[in-house]
Amino acid sequence: MSRPDAYIGKPIERLEDLRFLRGRGQYVDDLECAGALHAVVVRSAVAHGRIRSIDTAAARTLPGVHAVFTATDLGAKVPVIPVRSESQPSLDQAVQPVLAHGKVRYVGEPVAFVVAETAALAEDAADAVTVDIDPLRAVIDRAGAEAGDVLLFEHSATNTAGRFTGVRGDAAKAFAAAPYVRRERFRVQRYAPVPLETRGLLARWDAHAERLTLAGAAKVPFWVRSVLAAMMALPEQCVDVIETDIGGGFGARGEFFPEDFLVAFAARRLGRPVKWIEDRREHFLSTAHAREVDCELEIACRRDGVILALRGQAWTNAGAYIRPNVASAPRNIAQMGAGPYRIADLHMEVSVLLSNKTPTGSYRGPGRFEIDFCRERLIDLACADLGLDRAEMRRRNLLTDAEMPHALPIVLPHGKGGELDSGDYRVTFDRCLAEIRWDEKASLQGRLIDGRYHGLAIGCYVEGGAIGPRENARLVLDSEGMVTVYVGTSALGQGQETVFAQIAADALGIPIEHVKDVFHGSTTCVEEGFGSFGSRASVMGGCAIAAAAEKLKDSIREAAAARFGCPVSAIEIIEGMRAVRAGELQLPLHELAGRELAAEGTFAAEKRTYSYGAHAAHVAVDPRTGQVEVLEYVAVEDVGRILNPSTLHGQALGAIVQGLGGSLLEELIYDEHGQLLTASLASYLLPSMDDYPDIRAVALELYPSPLNPLGAKGGGEGGIIPVGGVIANAVACALGDLGVQPFELPLSPPRVWQLIEDARGSRRQAQRTAR
Give the CATH number for residue 63.
3.90.1170.50
pLDDT band at 339 (very low <50, low <70, confident <90, very high): very high
**Structural domain span for residue 331:** 290-466+607-764
Question: Measuring CA to CA, how many Å separate 371 from each of 245, 319, 335, 547, 573?
Answer: 33, 19, 10, 37, 52
Contacts of 105 (CB under 8 A, 6+ apart): 47, 48, 152, 320, 321, 356
Same domain as 125, residue 201:
yes
Q: Is residue 143 part of a domain?
A: no
State the Cα–Cα distance between residues 533 and 468, nearest whole angstrom.
10
Domain limit, last residue, from 580, 604, 628: 604
State the Cα–Cα distance between residues 423 and 467, nearest whole angstrom.
19
pLDDT band at 764 (very low <50, low <70, confident <90, very high): confident
Percent of the chain at pLDDT exceeding 70: 99
Three-state DSSP class for 552? helix
Give which of 409, 363, 360, 390 is closest to 459, Cα–Cα. Answer: 390
Domain limit, last residue, from 604, 629, 659: 604
Task: Check: CB of residue 425 under 8 Å from CB of residue 340.
Answer: yes
Question: Measuring CA to CA, how many Å separate 573 from each of 91, 580, 587, 628?
Answer: 54, 5, 10, 60
Beta strands in 82-237 (DSSP E): 103-104, 110-116, 130-135, 160-168, 180-188, 200-206, 211-217
Strands 345-353 and 103-104: unpaired
Q: Is residue 175 part of a domain?
A: no
pTM over 0.75: yes
- Asked if the model's pLDDT at residue 769 lies above 90, the reply is no
Same domain as 297, residue 241:
no
State the Cα–Cα distance between residues 39 and 126, nearest whole angstrom.
9
Q: Is residue 662 part of a domain?
A: yes
pLDDT band at 254 (very low <50, low <70, confident <90, very high): confident
- What confidence score (pLDDT) does residue 1 get? 44
Same domain as 295, residue 436:
yes
- Asked if the model's pLDDT at residue 717 lies above 90, the reply is yes
Task: Check: CB of residue 321 under 8 Å from CB of residue 145.
Answer: no
Number of domains in the chain: 3
- Asked if the model's pLDDT at residue 2 lies above 90, the reply is no
Same domain as 201, residue 52:
yes
Q: Is residue 637 part of a domain?
A: yes
**How many residues are recorded in the chain?**
771
CATH number at residue 546: 3.30.365.10
Q: What is the DSSP letter of 733?
A: H
Q: Is residue 6 part of a domain?
A: no
pLDDT tens per residue, range 466-511: 999 999 999 999 888 899 999 999 999 889 999 999 999 999 999 9
- Asked if the model's pLDDT at residue 275 lies above 60, the reply is yes
A 10 A CB-CB count for 439 gives 10
Q: Is residue 739 part of a domain?
A: yes
Contacts of 427 (CB under 8 A, 6+ apart): 638, 700, 702
- Asked if the model's pLDDT at residue 149 lies above 70, the reply is yes
CA angle 640, 645, 648 (to 5 degrees): 75
- Asked if the model's pLDDT at residue 771 lies above 80, the reply is no
Task: Check: CB of residue 657 under 8 Å from CB of residue 697.
Answer: no
State the Cα–Cα distance between residues 578 and 481, nearest whole angstrom.
5
Strands 483-487 and 515-520: parallel
State the Cα–Cα distance between residues 554 and 539, nearest whole angstrom.
23
Task: Check: CB of residue 429 under 8 Å from CB of residue 395.
Answer: yes
Give which of 329, 590, 398, 570 is closest to 477, Cα–Cα. Answer: 590
pLDDT band at 576 (very low <50, low <70, confident <90, very high): confident
Same domain as 620, residue 573:
no
Same domain as 235, residue 208:
yes
State the Cα–Cα distance between residues 367 and 375, nearest whole angstrom.
12
Same domain as 540, residue 650:
no
Helix extents (H) in 413-495: 425-436, 438-441
Same domain as 551, residue 427:
no
- Phi and psi torsions of 656, nearest 5°: -65, -45
State the chain's mean pLDDT as an integer. Answer: 95
Measured in Å, how far apart are the chain's first and last C-alpha atoms?
A: 76
State the Cα–Cα distance between residues 201 and 259, nearest whole angstrom.
8
Tell me the average pLDDT across 11-23: 93
**694-706 residues labelled b (16+ CB within 10 A) or e (exposed):** ebebbbbbebbbe
pLDDT tens per residue, range 389-421: 999 999 999 999 999 999 999 999 999 899 999
Question: Measuring CA to CA, how many Å separate 425 from each of 317, 434, 457, 560?
Answer: 32, 15, 17, 49
Q: Is residue 8 part of a domain?
A: no
State the Cα–Cα distance between residues 355 and 760, nearest whole angstrom.
36
State the Cα–Cα distance between residues 435 and 695, nearest whole angstrom.
11
- What confidence score (pLDDT) does residue 108 get? 98
Q: What is the DSSP letter of 599?
A: E
Task: Check: CB of residue 712 under 8 Å from CB of residue 641.
Answer: yes
Give which of 517, 463, 523, 464 is closest to 490, Cα–Cα. Answer: 523
pLDDT band at 55 (very low <50, low <70, confident <90, very high): very high
Task: Check: CB of residue 94 under 8 Å from CB of residue 156.
Answer: yes
Same domain as 235, residue 205:
yes
Give which of 490, 489, 488 is closest to 528, Cα–Cα. Answer: 488
Domain limit, last residue, from 560, 581, 604: 604
- Phi and psi torsions of 158, nearest 5°: -160, 155
Contacts of 229 (CB under 8 A, 6+ apart): 235, 236, 238, 239
Same domain as 435, residue 402:
yes
Kindly list the strands in the beta sheet with 470-477, ordered across the sheet, starting from the edge strand earlier in the chain: 515-520, 483-487, 470-477, 597-604
Same domain as 599, residue 542:
yes
- What confidence score (pLDDT) does residue 4 get? 55
State the Cα–Cα distance between residues 65 and 396, nearest whole angstrom.
68
Q: Which residues pair with 214 in a beta bridge?
A: 203, 241
- What confidence score (pLDDT) does residue 5 get? 61
State the Cα–Cα distance between residues 170 and 659, nearest whole angstrom.
33
Tell me the average pLDDT across 227-233: 98
Q: Is residue 439 part of a domain?
A: yes
pLDDT tens per residue, range 735-755: 999 999 999 999 999 999 999
Task: Check: CB of residue 477 under 8 Å from CB of residue 551.
Answer: no
Same domain as 423, residue 339:
yes
- Asked if the model's pLDDT at residue 377 lies above 50, the reply is yes
